[in-house]
Amino acid sequence: MKDLQNIKQRFGIIGNFEGLNRAIDIAVQVAPTDLSVLITGESGTGKEIFPQVIHNYSTRKHGQYIAVNCGAIPEGTIDSELFGHEKGSFTGASESRKGYFEVADGGTIFLDEVAELPLSTQVRLLRVLETGEFIRVGSSKVQKTNVRVIAASNVEVPRAIDNGKFREDLFYRLNTVPIKVPALRDRGEDIFLLFRKFAVDFAEKYRMPAIRLDSEAKNILLNYGWPGNVRQLKNITEQISIIENEREIIAINLRNYLPDYGGVKLPAVIKKDDDKSFSSEREILYKILFDMKSDMNDLKKLVFDLIRRGESDGPFQETNSRTIKNLFREAKEENNNNNETETPSADFSSHIDMNNIQDTEEIIEESLSLADKEVEMIKKALGKYNGKRKMAAGELGISERTLYRKIKEYGIES
């Protein structure tokens, strides 16, 4: 393997975390091959560095390297951008144009945010990966290309597959060699190394002394969750370098730059395979109601057991019946106190046939349409952020382009 420190220095990679070193090791080992690589990790972790490492240590290093942000290209033009088009194939196509796969022939193409690709484009991409063939938009001529494809995604692709937004066969074709880039919060002392590097860089850029942290501020830096990862750390370091007059940053000042700082970093909850996840508050409410129904069924079984015991024991029947009536009366009074809309005010226990207690169930009618759910969630997100689409898209876990398409598709007023 190539010297690890030389690789880090060449590509500006900072840190000694084991998971980071492992990711670099895999990238260098897979570089001489033509295998497809899927790089996963949270937004801001630096996934874009690894395709460059792979390309520069491959036999294609003298060929073209093209990085494409799939989430930034409108759905109507993505096929033309990737595969090219013929003159007159659509409105505005005044001349023929080569796509990225044609331009990068003999080189490497990096598809960032690959999970944002439309399903129709995913079919075209799968054909390129399997046969090296593609067709320009508006053409019937099959063309060949010899391109190494590296993809990256900051979303869980298996979940996108479950939601019908990503093809399973394409996932397995791209995921020939997976590389996982660790989140900043998991990298421990690397946080200090990155902070010092950024502080020195901005000191040189703005011609001022570099900032430094006191011991308490260092603990805060280590315990913060860093949802924006390395990108967020760099931005905060630049803000502090420019705004703060004092070069030694104390804890109280550092907290002003850390949104939602919660103090001590608690252990992360590990999700087991059999854990259930909930996509909305409504599903959580339904889960609670079903659990309550189960508890009520258990209570009813207990009541039946008491009744049977009373019938068989003779002298205890009256006592058991009285006890059961008291239980129902107390439950009724408590329910009236907690629910102002409750019906009948008469003595509840007097209308109960103790020998004929039947189970009842209220059926809640609800639309199960996925489209209705999408519209509902989009409206909630837009309402929460007062119609700001960028923030609403972040809340929904989709790109702003995808949100715009959904709003137009469903005719949602924003």
pLDDT of residue 57: 96
> Is 414's pLDDT higher than 70?
no
pTM for this predicted structure: 0.63
Number of DSSP helices (H) and strands (E) in the chain, helices first: 17, 9
SS3 content of the chain, % helix, strand, coil (to 5): 50, 10, 40
Pairing outcome for strands 133-135 and 142-144 = antiparallel
The CA–CA distances, whole Å, from 135 to 63, 120, 139 equal 22, 13, 6
Please provide the DSSP assignment of 240-296 as one string.
HHHH-SSSEEPHHHHHTTSTT--SSPPPPPPPPTT----SSHHHHHHHHHHHHHHHH
What backbone phi and psi angles, to 5 degrees, belong to 359? -80, 135
pLDDT tens by residue, 275-305: 444 445 666 776 677 778 777 877 777 777 7
What stretches of 119-274 adopt beta strand conformation (E)? 133-135, 142-144, 148-153, 177-180, 212-213, 248-249
Picking from 131, 128, 13, 139, the residue whose alpha carbon sits closest to that of residue 86 is: 139
pLDDT tens by residue, 85-118: 999 888 888 899 999 999 999 999 999 999 999 9
pLDDT tens by residue, 147-180: 999 999 999 999 999 999 999 999 999 999 999 9
Of 155-169, 325-339, 352-366, 367-381, which range is least confident? 352-366
Domains in the chain, CATH or no CATH each: 4-182 (3.40.50.300), 188-255 (1.10.8.60), 295-338+346-362 (no CATH), 370-410 (1.10.10)
